[in-house]
Amino acid sequence: MLKRASWSIPVQALFVITALVATAAAQAPIPPTQPPPAGYDAALWDRAWKLHHAATVVDTHTDTTTRILDEDFDIGPRSTTGHMDLPRIAEGGLDAAFYSIYVAASYYGDEQGLFGGKHGDNKANGSARRALDMIDGFYRTVARYPDRMVACCSVDDVRAAVRAGKHAALMGIEGGHAIEGDLGLLRLFQRLGVRYMTLTHTNHNEFADSCAEAEPRWGGLNQLGRKVVLEMNRLGVMVDVSHVSDATFYDVLRLTRAPVICSHSSLRSICPHQRNVTDEMLAAIARNGGVVMINYNCGFLDADYMKQSGASDATRKIQEKAARDKFGAGSTELKAALAKLDQRFPPPPRPKLAKLMQHLLRAIELAGPDHVGLGSDFDGVPCVPEGLDDVTCLPRITYELLAAGQSEATVRKVLGDNLLRVFAAVEQQALQLRAEPPYRNDAATDHEPLAR
């Protein structure tokens, strides 16, 4: 049987770290309170606004990097599209964000060099190249706006950025196949500034099973997956268990020597999507000292929306494929056909902000106020709740938490202090493990199953 690894920072010490993080990060001046949204109490809104802009607000998952790379999106001026840009980030009081180094499953490929055999469709593996292109886009953007944002690789970096009144930009890999099964690549990405990695995306990969494929490949982690988790602990890279299968989740929790994160997941008890965490998984993360960052995607928040959009999407995809097969790419006929499909298959009504708050409040109730945070998935999802249309709406979350009776201390934790506490604990654990030699690949044993 696998035994749960004991990591050497006591859980109680994590909450001391929380206090240090909170007191060390003095904020820029609080902007004047904006008029309250319709139906909001003016006095409570003023209190929420001031608390929100005094707190350190952290979002662990935004896909704006994909827009930067694929659309040549300019984050500097205010945009009429998407969810985030620097003016709206400032207005919404978002102090720090992890920009996703997202590698789609379509880039995953040949494993022959790793295991001496083939898997999948035997296409060339473009995963690491895609990740490097993403990282380049991230750094080009930061270099373009040094007066408003700064690349950060540590909690101290985030604190310094907040004190300087700049947006703290960090990186997390989404899709562990980005390392192509190579522990050396994991170390190189860490040196480039990556500070968390989602072990899987929608595909099983060289070392872990995803929640999105019906049939397991490894039954959780394999022996290489064990090394990946332990090497991430050694490097100070947070282990992200969003997107993984339930078996992978529990393997990670038994192995890790540091607290883990779910960078963008919601609650399965409210919306039964496999991407969400069960109440038992939430409790396990709390025992681990980690944090679950609630996702804003309508399809992960609302069961009715998930069912309606799933049925509509399936039918639309069939008809869209037929149209694309019939008409040439970019043709007037194809554009007209797709426009008709948009009219025939409108999206379901969006859930309200109250549905997101239901997830947040239940997570606080079950896991405690020290284990919940925010992971929006902004610019990576087609739908966010009404009332949370973009990053400028973030103070509404603070208002709703206060309106629900949460203390200001709890609100600060949820807005960012919990994530910074975990980040600091992971850094401290890496310092304690720095004398360990790095883990190495072994083609003869890496694909073997774990002993359970």
Q: Mean pLDDT score of the chain, rounded to an integer?
A: 92
* Other residues' Cβ atoms within 10 Å of the Cβ of residue 43: 9
Q: What is the pLDDT of residues 367-425, one digit of tens each?
A: 999 999 999 999 999 999 999 999 999 999 999 999 999 999 999 999 999 999 999 99
Residue 198 pairs with which residues in a beta bridge?
174, 240
Q: What is the pLDDT of residue 15?
A: 52
Please answer whether residues 353 and 400 qualify as being in contact, where contact means their C-beta atoms are separated by less than 8 angstroms. yes
pLDDT > 70? residue 119: no
Residue 293 pairs with which residues in a beta bridge?
373
Percent pLDDT > 90 in the chain is 80
Please answer whether residues 294 and 265 qualify as being in contact, where contact means their C-beta atoms are separated by less than 8 angstroms. yes
Q: Which two tokens stand for residue 75?
A: 């984050």
- Domain covering 11-33+40-302+352-433 assigned CATH 3.40.50.1980 in the classification: no
pLDDT > 70? residue 303: yes
Q: What is the pLDDT of residue 263?
A: 98
Residue type, 81: T
Q: What is the pLDDT of residues 185-225, one digit of tens each?
A: 999 999 999 999 999 999 999 999 999 999 999 999 999 99
Q: What is the pLDDT of residues 20-43, one digit of tens each?
A: 444 444 556 899 999 999 999 999
Q: What is the pLDDT of residues 317-366, one digit of tens each?
A: 777 777 778 888 778 888 887 788 778 877 789 999 999 999 999 999 99
Residues 6+ apart with CB under 8 A from 191: none
Tell me the C-alpha distance between 218 and 220, whole Å: 5
Query: Residue 134: which pLDDT band, with cuts at 50, 70 and 90?
Result: very high
Mean pLDDT value of segment 413-442: 98
Locate the domains of the chain by residue range: 11-33+40-302+352-433, 314-350
Q: Which of 440, 392, 419 is nearest to 240 (CA)?
A: 419
Tell me the C-alpha distance between 110 and 106, whole Å: 12
pLDDT > 80? residue 9: no
Query: Residue 165: which pLDDT band, with cuts at 50, 70 and 90?
Result: very high
pLDDT > 70? residue 11: no
Query: Residue 3: which pLDDT band, with cuts at 50, 70 and 90?
Result: very low
Q: What is the pLDDT of residues 89-100, one digit of tens each?
A: 999 999 999 999
Range in 43-57, 231-245, 287-301, 309-323 with the lowest mean pLDDT: 309-323
Burial class of residue 245, CB neighbours in 10 A (0-12, 13-18, 19+): buried
Q: What is the pLDDT of residue 12?
A: 46
Q: What is the pLDDT of residue 213?
A: 96
Of 53-67, 102-116, 122-136, which one has max mean pLDDT?
A: 53-67
Q: Which two tokens stand for residue 135?
A: 């990282």
Query: Residue 13: which pLDDT band, with cuts at 50, 70 and 90?
Result: low
Please answer whether residues 180 and 206 qualify as being in contact, where contact means their C-beta atoms are separated by less than 8 angstroms. yes
Mean pLDDT value of segment 49-74: 97
Query: Residue 312: which pLDDT band, with cuts at 50, 70 and 90?
Result: low
Q: What is the pLDDT of residue 319?
A: 78
pLDDT > 50? residue 4: no
Residue 270 pairs with which residues in a beta bridge?
none
∠ Cα 69 74 78 (to 5°): 140
Of 15-24, 298-307, 329-338, which one has max mean pLDDT?
A: 298-307
3-state secondary structure the chain: CCCCCCCCCCHHHHHHHHHHHHHHCCCCCCCCCCCCCCCCCHHHHHHHHHHHHHCCCEEEEECHHHHHHHCCCCCCCCCCCCCCCHHHHHHHCCCEEEEEEECCHHHCCCCHHHHCCCCCCCCCCCHHHHHHHHHHHHHHHHHHCCCCEEECCCHHHHHHHHHCCCEEEEEEEECHHHHCCCHHHHHHHHHCCEEEEECCCCCCCCCECECCCCCCCCCCEEHHHHHHHHHHHHHCCEEECCCECHHHHHHHHHHCCCCCEECCCCECCCCCCCCCECHHHHHHHHHHCCEEEECCCHHHHCHHHHHHHHHHHHHHHHHHHHHHHHCCCCCHHHHHHHHHHHHHCCCCCCCEHHHHHHHHHHHHHHHCCCCEEECCCECCCCCCCECCCCHHHHHHHHHHHHHCCCCHHHHHHHHHHHHHHHHHHHHHHHHHHCCCCCCCCCCCCCCCECCC
pLDDT > 90? residue 434: yes
Mean pLDDT value of segment 273-293: 98
Mean pLDDT value of segment 223-230: 98
* Burial profile 59-87: b = 16 or more Cβ within 10 angstroms, e = fewer: bbbbbbbbbbbeeebebeeebeebbbbbb
Burial class of residue 407, CB neighbours in 10 A (0-12, 13-18, 19+): exposed
Percent pLDDT > 70 in the chain is 91
